[in-house]
Amino acid sequence: MKFIKKVENSCNRNNSLLQVSLDPDPKRFPKELAGNKRSILEFCKGIIESTAEYISSVKMQIAYFSACRAEDELEEICSYIRYNYPYLPIILDSKRGDIGDTSEKYAIEAFDRYKADALTVNPFMGLDSIEPYLEWEDRGVLVLCRTSNLGGSDFQSLKMANDTPLYLHIAQLVSKKWNTNSQFGIVAGATFPKELAIIRKAIGEDMPILIPGIGTQGGNIHSTVISGTNNDCSGAMISSSRSILYASNNDNWREASSIVAKKFRDDINFSRKEKMHLSKLESTNKSN
């Protein structure tokens, strides 16, 4: 099954656009995991078990695992998801961007070692740095476009010669020229809803957007849904990390994470319904 279809099926199955992002930081783990040599594995499994019914995908931030020398645990977690929750797409958040020969190795890492369904990439070095990932035709490639951090404006908002901001140029290039096999998606942050809406309009209805930044980073759920979803109020992976992962560091951490994930899922769905209602009203007014 191709990545985009797997995302669509998972969203429909759980009636959710919420993505949980696993950024495991042992310093913030619940007390019961202190001293556990397998704490990263146990924590991530606990989060997935607690949130699986409310999410539509899982994102792994590779740096959090590599910094703890926990790549083997990352492999185990990916295997655990594939076996127990095979409908959930796995996204490796690695933001790779290098020459073709090196990208071939990164592709093997992401798609063979971890068997991820998609990964994030940096487009700075152009299409030939991304082409090795496309050889895995059932996998997805999510291109950084308008990131959620403030410093992203240093480059992403710069104007091209035709007065188009760089982030929009990237979105147009990916959607109009690169996406010949429907493998691409875009990464655009919830913290910039105006730009998110411009990107959605530019890329059309079918391409998914990974949207980080709700919760701790301050992105607003309602504006994210209004700006980032397509006309069917889908086509988005709205990602949350710390708000879900560290909802509690006491014995109730699993329950607390589940409660936060359910609330995010429900708040997103409320905004989806509102957007759909407004769209129907607008269509009725136009027809009258």
Residues forming the active site = 95
Rounded to 5 degrees, what are φ and ψ at 184? -90, 150
- Residue reference for tokens 């890492």: 109
Q: Is the dihedral of CA 129, 59, 9, 230 positive or negative?
A: negative
Contact criterion met (CB below 8 Å) for 48 and 80:
yes
Rounded to 5 degrees, what are φ and ψ at 249? -115, 20
Contact criterion met (CB below 8 Å) for 210 and 237:
yes
| C-alpha separations of 22 from 65, 80, 99 in Å | 9, 14, 28
